[in-house]
Amino acid sequence: MMSKLSVFFVGMAMLAIFACSKDNDLNFFTVSQDIAFGEQLDSAVLASPDEYPVLSRTAYPAVYTYLETMMNNILASEEIMYRDEFNWKITVINSDVVNAFAAPGGYLYIYTGLLKYLDNGAQVAGVMGHEIAHTDRRHSTEAMTKEYGFSVLLSIIMGNEATQLEQILSSLALNGTILAFSRKNENEADRYAVFYTADSELYNPLGVGGFFQKMLAEQNTAGTGIPEFLSTHPSDENRIENISATWNELKSNEPALNSVAWNDLVTQHVQIKSTLP
Protein backbone atom coordinates (compact mmCIF):
# COMPACT_ATOMS: atom_id res chain seq x y z
CA MET A 1 0.00 0.00 0.00
CA MET A 2 1.20 3.48 -0.80
CA SER A 3 2.20 5.64 2.10
CA LYS A 4 0.50 8.98 2.56
CA LEU A 5 3.77 10.61 1.61
CA SER A 6 4.08 8.81 -1.73
CA VAL A 7 0.44 9.56 -2.51
CA PHE A 8 1.35 13.18 -1.89
CA PHE A 9 4.35 12.99 -4.22
CA VAL A 10 2.38 11.23 -6.96
CA GLY A 11 -0.23 13.93 -6.61
CA MET A 12 2.41 16.62 -6.87
CA ALA A 13 3.94 14.93 -9.92
CA MET A 14 0.53 14.83 -11.65
CA LEU A 15 0.02 18.48 -10.88
CA ALA A 16 3.44 19.23 -12.30
CA ILE A 17 2.63 17.30 -15.46
CA PHE A 18 -0.61 19.15 -16.03
CA ALA A 19 0.97 22.46 -15.16
CA CYS A 20 3.69 21.80 -17.74
CA SER A 21 1.24 21.85 -20.61
CA LYS A 22 0.86 25.31 -22.11
CA ASP A 23 -2.41 24.42 -23.79
CA ASN A 24 -5.49 23.44 -21.88
CA ASP A 25 -5.81 19.96 -23.30
CA LEU A 26 -5.25 17.04 -21.00
CA ASN A 27 -2.02 15.33 -21.97
CA PHE A 28 -0.27 12.88 -19.66
CA PHE A 29 3.06 13.48 -21.36
CA THR A 30 5.42 16.13 -20.15
CA VAL A 31 6.98 18.40 -22.74
CA SER A 32 10.37 16.70 -22.26
CA GLN A 33 8.71 13.31 -22.83
CA ASP A 34 7.32 14.63 -26.12
CA ILE A 35 10.88 15.50 -27.07
CA ALA A 36 12.31 12.15 -25.90
CA PHE A 37 9.63 10.26 -27.82
CA GLY A 38 10.25 12.34 -30.95
CA GLU A 39 13.99 11.60 -30.69
CA GLN A 40 13.28 7.85 -30.50
CA LEU A 41 10.95 7.98 -33.49
CA ASP A 42 13.37 10.13 -35.48
CA SER A 43 16.32 7.80 -34.95
CA ALA A 44 14.11 4.85 -35.86
CA VAL A 45 13.04 6.65 -39.08
CA LEU A 46 16.67 7.41 -39.95
CA ALA A 47 17.60 3.78 -39.28
CA SER A 48 14.96 2.48 -41.76
CA PRO A 49 16.21 3.68 -45.17
CA ASP A 50 14.07 1.10 -47.02
CA GLU A 51 10.88 2.57 -45.64
CA TYR A 52 12.19 6.11 -45.25
CA PRO A 53 14.86 6.91 -47.87
CA VAL A 54 16.13 10.30 -46.71
CA LEU A 55 17.04 12.87 -49.36
CA SER A 56 20.72 13.70 -48.85
CA ARG A 57 21.29 17.06 -47.18
CA THR A 58 24.69 17.47 -48.79
CA ALA A 59 23.54 16.57 -52.30
CA TYR A 60 20.39 18.75 -52.17
CA PRO A 61 21.23 21.75 -49.97
CA ALA A 62 18.88 24.11 -51.88
CA VAL A 63 15.86 21.91 -51.13
CA TYR A 64 16.69 21.89 -47.43
CA THR A 65 17.41 25.64 -47.36
CA TYR A 66 14.05 26.27 -49.04
CA LEU A 67 12.15 24.17 -46.50
CA GLU A 68 14.15 25.23 -43.44
CA THR A 69 13.70 28.92 -44.27
CA MET A 70 9.98 28.28 -44.59
CA MET A 71 9.92 26.35 -41.31
CA ASN A 72 11.76 29.15 -39.48
CA ASN A 73 9.44 31.79 -40.92
CA ILE A 74 6.44 29.81 -39.68
CA LEU A 75 8.05 29.18 -36.28
CA ALA A 76 8.51 32.94 -35.87
CA SER A 77 4.76 33.23 -35.35
CA GLU A 78 3.78 34.35 -31.86
CA GLU A 79 1.19 31.55 -31.88
CA ILE A 80 3.96 28.90 -31.56
CA MET A 81 4.14 27.59 -28.00
CA TYR A 82 7.25 25.38 -28.03
CA ARG A 83 9.60 27.23 -30.41
CA ASP A 84 12.52 27.08 -27.98
CA GLU A 85 11.76 23.79 -26.26
CA PHE A 86 11.28 21.46 -29.25
CA ASN A 87 14.04 20.19 -31.62
CA TRP A 88 12.52 21.60 -34.80
CA LYS A 89 13.97 19.66 -37.71
CA ILE A 90 12.79 18.88 -41.21
CA THR A 91 13.70 15.70 -43.07
CA VAL A 92 12.87 15.11 -46.72
CA ILE A 93 11.90 11.55 -47.66
CA ASN A 94 12.91 10.76 -51.23
CA SER A 95 9.80 8.93 -52.40
CA ASP A 96 6.93 9.66 -54.78
CA VAL A 97 4.41 9.11 -51.99
CA VAL A 98 2.30 12.28 -51.63
CA ASN A 99 2.59 12.74 -47.90
CA ALA A 100 3.94 14.59 -44.90
CA PHE A 101 3.89 13.79 -41.21
CA ALA A 102 5.15 15.05 -37.90
CA ALA A 103 6.49 13.31 -34.81
CA PRO A 104 6.26 14.80 -31.31
CA GLY A 105 8.96 17.20 -30.20
CA GLY A 106 9.35 19.11 -33.48
CA TYR A 107 10.31 16.44 -36.04
CA LEU A 108 8.75 17.08 -39.47
CA TYR A 109 8.91 14.83 -42.53
CA ILE A 110 7.96 15.80 -46.05
CA TYR A 111 8.04 13.54 -49.12
CA THR A 112 9.49 14.64 -52.46
CA GLY A 113 6.23 13.29 -53.93
CA LEU A 114 4.28 15.96 -52.05
CA LEU A 115 6.70 18.72 -53.07
CA LYS A 116 6.29 17.68 -56.71
CA TYR A 117 2.52 17.48 -56.33
CA LEU A 118 2.06 20.99 -54.93
CA ASP A 119 2.06 24.07 -57.17
CA ASN A 120 3.49 26.85 -55.02
CA GLY A 121 5.15 27.77 -51.76
CA ALA A 122 1.88 28.87 -50.15
CA GLN A 123 0.57 25.31 -50.40
CA VAL A 124 3.83 23.89 -49.02
CA ALA A 125 3.68 26.39 -46.14
CA GLY A 126 0.05 25.35 -45.61
CA VAL A 127 0.98 21.67 -45.21
CA MET A 128 4.00 22.54 -43.11
CA GLY A 129 1.98 24.86 -40.88
CA HIS A 130 -0.61 22.13 -40.43
CA GLU A 131 2.03 19.57 -39.39
CA ILE A 132 3.79 22.09 -37.14
CA ALA A 133 0.44 22.70 -35.43
CA HIS A 134 -0.05 18.95 -34.78
CA THR A 135 3.35 18.88 -33.08
CA ASP A 136 3.25 22.24 -31.32
CA ARG A 137 -0.31 21.74 -30.03
CA ARG A 138 0.90 18.27 -28.93
CA HIS A 139 -1.81 16.39 -30.79
CA SER A 140 0.49 13.42 -31.47
CA THR A 141 1.12 12.40 -27.90
CA GLU A 142 -2.49 13.17 -27.00
CA ALA A 143 -3.74 10.85 -29.75
CA MET A 144 -1.11 8.17 -29.14
CA THR A 145 -1.96 8.06 -25.46
CA LYS A 146 -5.53 7.22 -26.47
CA GLU A 147 -4.37 4.61 -28.98
CA TYR A 148 -1.55 2.81 -27.15
CA GLY A 149 -1.92 3.76 -23.51
CA PHE A 150 0.38 5.89 -21.43
CA SER A 151 2.45 3.06 -19.93
CA VAL A 152 3.41 1.56 -23.32
CA LEU A 153 4.53 4.97 -24.56
CA LEU A 154 6.39 5.63 -21.37
CA SER A 155 8.37 2.39 -21.71
CA ILE A 156 9.20 3.30 -25.31
CA ILE A 157 10.66 6.56 -24.04
CA MET A 158 12.68 4.56 -21.53
CA GLY A 159 13.95 2.42 -24.43
CA ASN A 160 12.24 -0.75 -23.19
CA GLU A 161 9.72 -1.34 -25.97
CA ALA A 162 11.56 -1.86 -29.23
CA THR A 163 8.76 -4.01 -30.69
CA GLN A 164 6.06 -1.49 -29.91
CA LEU A 165 8.18 1.31 -31.34
CA GLU A 166 8.56 -0.71 -34.55
CA GLN A 167 4.81 -1.28 -34.69
CA ILE A 168 4.10 2.41 -34.30
CA LEU A 169 6.68 3.15 -37.00
CA SER A 170 5.16 0.76 -39.52
CA SER A 171 1.71 2.20 -38.89
CA LEU A 172 3.31 5.57 -39.48
CA ALA A 173 4.64 4.35 -42.83
CA LEU A 174 1.32 2.74 -43.69
CA ASN A 175 -1.00 5.58 -42.79
CA GLY A 176 1.34 8.46 -43.31
CA THR A 177 0.80 9.50 -39.77
CA ILE A 178 1.31 8.02 -36.37
CA LEU A 179 -2.45 7.64 -36.29
CA ALA A 180 -5.48 9.50 -37.45
CA PHE A 181 -6.07 12.63 -35.44
CA SER A 182 -9.49 13.55 -34.15
CA ARG A 183 -11.57 15.89 -36.25
CA LYS A 184 -11.19 18.48 -33.51
CA ASN A 185 -7.39 18.31 -33.78
CA GLU A 186 -7.55 18.41 -37.57
CA ASN A 187 -9.63 21.58 -37.44
CA GLU A 188 -7.28 23.08 -34.90
CA ALA A 189 -4.25 22.27 -37.09
CA ASP A 190 -5.96 23.92 -40.09
CA ARG A 191 -6.82 27.01 -38.04
CA TYR A 192 -3.31 27.43 -36.64
CA ALA A 193 -1.77 26.89 -40.08
CA VAL A 194 -3.79 29.95 -41.17
CA PHE A 195 -2.58 31.95 -38.13
CA TYR A 196 1.08 31.01 -38.66
CA THR A 197 1.11 31.77 -42.38
CA ALA A 198 -0.74 35.06 -41.82
CA ASP A 199 1.80 36.03 -39.13
CA SER A 200 4.68 35.32 -41.50
CA GLU A 201 3.23 37.82 -44.03
CA LEU A 202 5.08 35.73 -46.60
CA TYR A 203 2.81 32.81 -47.37
CA ASN A 204 -0.72 33.50 -48.44
CA PRO A 205 -2.92 31.63 -45.91
CA LEU A 206 -5.23 30.58 -48.72
CA GLY A 207 -2.49 28.05 -49.46
CA VAL A 208 -3.67 26.12 -46.39
CA GLY A 209 -6.96 25.47 -48.16
CA GLY A 210 -5.21 25.37 -51.53
CA PHE A 211 -3.69 21.98 -51.01
CA PHE A 212 -6.96 20.49 -49.76
CA GLN A 213 -8.72 22.02 -52.76
CA LYS A 214 -6.22 20.43 -55.10
CA MET A 215 -6.64 17.09 -53.38
CA LEU A 216 -10.41 17.39 -53.47
CA ALA A 217 -10.35 18.09 -57.20
CA GLU A 218 -8.17 15.02 -57.66
CA GLN A 219 -10.48 12.94 -55.51
CA ASN A 220 -13.41 13.93 -57.68
CA THR A 221 -11.73 13.01 -60.91
CA ALA A 222 -12.11 9.33 -60.12
CA GLY A 223 -9.16 7.12 -60.76
CA THR A 224 -5.75 6.43 -59.41
CA GLY A 225 -3.26 8.66 -57.72
CA ILE A 226 -5.29 9.78 -54.73
CA PRO A 227 -2.67 11.16 -52.36
CA GLU A 228 -1.87 9.22 -49.19
CA PHE A 229 -2.30 12.41 -47.21
CA LEU A 230 -6.02 12.25 -48.01
CA SER A 231 -6.54 8.97 -46.19
CA THR A 232 -5.80 10.69 -42.88
CA HIS A 233 -6.94 14.16 -43.94
CA PRO A 234 -10.42 13.91 -45.41
CA SER A 235 -10.96 16.94 -47.62
CA ASP A 236 -14.40 18.27 -48.19
CA GLU A 237 -15.98 21.61 -49.01
CA ASN A 238 -16.62 22.12 -45.33
CA ARG A 239 -12.96 21.91 -44.46
CA ILE A 240 -12.01 24.38 -47.19
CA GLU A 241 -14.80 26.76 -46.15
CA ASN A 242 -13.64 26.68 -42.52
CA ILE A 243 -10.12 27.59 -43.61
CA SER A 244 -11.38 30.50 -45.76
CA ALA A 245 -13.63 31.68 -42.91
CA THR A 246 -10.68 31.76 -40.46
CA TRP A 247 -8.65 33.75 -42.97
CA ASN A 248 -11.49 36.17 -43.78
CA GLU A 249 -12.02 36.84 -40.08
CA LEU A 250 -8.31 37.52 -39.55
CA LYS A 251 -8.18 39.82 -42.56
CA SER A 252 -11.15 41.89 -41.47
CA ASN A 253 -9.62 42.42 -38.01
CA GLU A 254 -6.15 43.22 -39.30
CA PRO A 255 -6.40 45.10 -42.60
CA ALA A 256 -2.61 45.00 -43.13
CA LEU A 257 -2.96 41.27 -43.80
CA ASN A 258 -4.76 42.02 -47.03
CA SER A 259 -1.42 42.74 -48.60
CA VAL A 260 -0.08 39.21 -48.03
CA ALA A 261 0.88 38.43 -51.60
CA TRP A 262 1.82 35.39 -53.56
CA ASN A 263 5.20 37.05 -54.16
CA ASP A 264 7.50 34.70 -55.96
CA LEU A 265 6.01 31.65 -54.29
CA VAL A 266 5.21 29.96 -57.57
CA THR A 267 8.50 30.64 -59.33
CA GLN A 268 10.61 29.60 -56.36
CA HIS A 269 8.66 26.40 -55.82
CA VAL A 270 8.80 25.41 -59.49
CA GLN A 271 12.56 26.05 -59.47
CA ILE A 272 13.07 23.84 -56.38
CA LYS A 273 10.89 21.11 -57.88
CA SER A 274 13.09 21.04 -60.99
CA THR A 275 16.12 20.12 -58.85
CA LEU A 276 14.45 17.13 -57.16
CA PRO A 277 15.59 13.63 -58.14
> Which residues of this protein are in contact with Zn ion, per CB under 5 A?
189
Minimum distance from CB of 254 to Zn ion (Å)? Answer: 26
**Closest CB to Zn ion among 35 and 189?**
189
**Closest CB to Zn ion among 243 and 272?**
243
**Closest CB to Zn ion among 88 and 101?**
101
Q: Closest by alpha carbon to 148, among 160, 137, 156? A: 156
Minimum distance from CB of 235 to Zn ion (Å)? Answer: 11
**Closest CB to Zn ion among 114 and 157?**
114
In the complex, residue closest to Zn ion by CB: 189
Minimum distance from CB of 133 to Zn ion (Å)? Answer: 8
Minimum distance from CB of 104 to Zn ion (Å)? Answer: 14
